[in-house]
A and B are shown apart, each in its own frame.
Chain A
Amino acid sequence: MFEYRFIQIAFIASLLISILSAVIGTFVVMRKMTSIAGSIAHSAFGGLGLGLLLNLNPVYIAIPFTMAVAGFFSLFKKAMRISEESALTIIWSFGMSLGILLMNFKAGFSGEVLGYLFGSILAVSMSDIGLMLASILLTLLAFGIFSREIVLSSFDEEFAILCGINTKLFDLIFYMLTALTVVILIKVAGVLVIIAFLTIPPIIARRFVKSILKMIFLSFALNLVFSFSGMILSFYFDLPTGPSIVMISILTLFLVSVFKRK
């Protein structure tokens, strides 16, 4: 199967997705933000729909759109007069509905919805790879420079404040990076696969390690194993790639939960 160029590119894409989602996913899980990541991912549909309607590259419109939604939520979540859970559900359904509504105005684009739900890792272009590389660079730079601040404010926000850390700023940066990751990966992996990538490997990894760095590395390795095995499975058995990856991750999580207690 490796003689095909699209397969080679898909494997490179999996490698890059694994790096990005291991770093962001580790903190998504540690900060108990899995439902927030899910809402941000689904809100991206609004931006994608807008991009299609305007005949522009949907990803380029979805990036600022999703970052704006994530930034708004990060800044105003405490001031909202409704519970955080309700606000997230509203963001989730708003993004999806807006996206599908806007896509509906463009004839022939109904298939796009399914594409963005499960992605098409076998149809990755070189410009997608470029975008992923750029966001990996930005994410690693932010986490490399501010790792202690991000860890401290994720673990104990009040203590971080007393240490003089601007936790609101780091909260905002993290939301923005999560939004960026989600949109960059949406075309390649699809919304459902992204949520699995961001949550399942870190949930498994944290049972085995004692440090954040090791958790990131183990999540990366798991992401790689899940995506490679999912692709191989889909190639030989003619199965859809995204759902295959998700099912392998969930099966592994189930087995780990049964055999590896804390």
Chain B
Amino acid sequence: MNSTAISVKNLCLSINGQSILENINLNVKSNELISVIGPNGSGKTTLLRAILGFIKIDSGSIEILGEQNIKGRLHVGYIPQFIKRDSDFPLTVRDIMLSGKYSGYFRKYSKEDIHSADKYIEEFSLSRLKNKRIHELSGGEMQRVLIARALVRNPKILLMDEPTSSVDKKSQDEFFMLLSRLRERMAIILVTHDLGAVSTYIERIICLNHKINYDGPTAEGLTKLDETYKGSINIINHSHHGDK
């Protein structure tokens, strides 16, 4: 049960000659729920994207479920902070949910796929929105759709980048309760600024500022945080700014 979900060894990454990640070593077990925190521009989003193989790394290795990340990423659900989408794209919420059931070339969606997508639409209280186009959704509703779409795929690992940045306090609490349930069947890495919620729900945190400054229990990490970052993180910060 406690096998390794993600293994990052000696990862170095630079963009346009500027070092973004320096000698990152990270091991995440299946069923672990961890949070990556750090100031804006510290490389949090870049780390997630490197794990997924979306960005070329300079050196080091990244494995997902024991396979090279390019292969292993098929088992990962990723919820980006933003998607580069055209808000006029003529897709409904139901179309987007169904796309989560994509299973390969020449394979049509089966009745089970449609049933499963509908089940998640209901579970995530999206029934009212299912025939709406994406430009009709609020930021929080779109975020819920993206989380539900990622889960429709039954991922073994979930990577989330500031998933609560556009939702209200009540929805945030519900969201963290959901994560606590989900960790029973998957590893979760959560990038967030919201240290208030992290201190309540997350047991292990990674403090990142180009390199890992701390990796361990949340309670201990939060006491060292202020010294490490010299106040560059707001302790309960619902900032909407993303990483570079």
Q: How far is the CA of A163 from the CA of B96 in the complex (A)?
A: 13
Contact yes or no, B90 A215, CB < 8 A: yes
Which residues of the other chain, B, contact A32 by a CB distance below 8 angstroms?
A: 86
A209 at the binding interface (Cβ < 8 Å): yes
The verdict on A161 contacting B86 (CB below 8 Å), with A148-B102, A149-B105, A210-B92 known, is no
Contact yes or no, A206 B78, CB < 8 A: no
Contact yes or no, B135 A262, CB < 8 A: yes
Contact yes or no, A159 B99, CB < 8 A: yes
B17 at the binding interface (Cβ < 8 Å): no
A211 at the binding interface (Cβ < 8 Å): yes
B128 at the binding interface (Cβ < 8 Å): no
Contact yes or no, A210 B131, CB < 8 A: yes
Contact yes or no, A212 B90, CB < 8 A: yes
Q: Count contacts on B: residues with CB < 8 A to the other chain.
A: 29
One of A11-19, A39-47, A150-158, A172-180 at the interface: A150-158
Within 97-155 of B, Cβ neighbours of A (below 8 Å) are at 99, 102, 104-106, 131, 133, 135, 149, 153
Contact yes or no, B80 A163, CB < 8 A: no
Contact yes or no, A162 B104, CB < 8 A: no
The verdict on A159 contacting B105 (CB below 8 Å), with A206-B90, A211-B90, A212-B90 known, is no
Which residues of the other chain, A, contact B76 by a CB distance below 8 angstroms?
A: 162
Contact yes or no, A162 B91, CB < 8 A: no
B95 at the binding interface (Cβ < 8 Å): yes
Q: How far is the CA of A226 from the CA of B105 in the complex (A)?
A: 37
- Band of interface residues on A: 20 to 34
Give the nearest-CB partner of A207 in chain B.
B88
Give the nearest-CB partner of B80 in chain A.
A158
Contact of A209 (CB < 8 Å), options: B86, B90, B96: B90
* Nearest chain A CB to B132 CB, angstrom units: 9
Contact of B54 (CB < 8 Å), options: A30, A161, A165: A161
Which residues of the other chain, A, contact B133 by a CB distance below 8 angstroms?
A: 210
Which residues of the other chain, B, contact A215 by a CB distance below 8 angstroms?
A: 90
Which residues of the other chain, B, contact A262 by a CB distance below 8 angstroms?
A: 88, 135
Contact yes or no, B105 A155, CB < 8 A: no
Q: How far is the CA of A159 from the CA of B104 in the complex (A)?
A: 13
Contact yes or no, A158 B73, CB < 8 A: no
Give the nearest-CB partner of B155 in chain A.
A162
Q: How far is the CA of A96 from the CA of B40 in the complex (A)?
A: 45
* Nearest chain B CB to A231 CB, angstrom units: 29
The verdict on A206 contacting B88 (CB below 8 Å), with A159-B83, A162-B78, A164-B74 known, is yes
B52 at the binding interface (Cβ < 8 Å): yes
Contact of A156 (CB < 8 Å), options: B77, B83, B106: B83
Which residues of the other chain, B, contact A148 by a CB distance below 8 angstroms?
A: 99, 102
Q: How far is the CA of A149 from the CA of B99 in the complex (A)?
A: 10
A146 at the binding interface (Cβ < 8 Å): yes
Q: How far is the CA of A2 from the CA of B38 in the complex (A)?
A: 72
A77 at the binding interface (Cβ < 8 Å): no
Q: How far is the CA of A155 from the CA of B95 in the complex (A)?
A: 11
Within 48-99 of B, Cβ neighbours of A (below 8 Å) are at 52, 54, 73-74, 76-78, 80, 83-86, 88-92, 95-96, 99
Q: A197-228: contact bitstring with B at CB < 8 Å (1 yes, 0 no)?
A: 00000000011011110110000000000000
* Nearest chain A CB to B162 CB, angstrom units: 15
Which residues of the other chain, A, contact B89 by a CB distance below 8 angstroms?
A: 30, 154-155
* Nearest chain B CB to A235 CB, angstrom units: 35
Which residues of the other chain, B, contact A152 by a CB distance below 8 angstroms?
A: 99, 102
* Nearest chain B CB to A116 CB, angstrom units: 31
Q: How far is the CA of A148 from the CA of B96 in the complex (A)?
A: 11
Within 48-90 of A, Cβ neighbours of B (below 8 Å) are at none
Q: How far is the CA of A262 from the CA of B133 in the complex (A)?
A: 11
Q: B218-231: contact bitstring with A at CB < 8 Å (1 yes, 0 no)?
A: 00000000000000
A-B pairs with beta carbons under 8 Å apart, 22 shown: A30-B89, A146-B105, A148-B99, A149-B105, A151-B91, A155-B86, A155-B99, A156-B84, A157-B84, A158-B52, A158-B54, A158-B78, A162-B73, A162-B153, A163-B153, A164-B74, A164-B104, A206-B88, A210-B90, A211-B91, A212-B90, A214-B90
- Give the 4 A-B CB pairs with smallest separation, nearest first: A163-B102, A206-B88, A156-B83, A215-B90
Residues of A in contact with B (beta carbons under 8 Å apart): 30, 32, 145-146, 148-149, 151-152, 154-159, 161-165, 206-207, 209-212, 214-215, 262
Known: A156-B85, A161-B73, A162-B76. 7 other contacts (CB 8 A): A151-B91, A154-B89, A155-B89, A162-B77, A162-B78, A163-B102, A212-B91
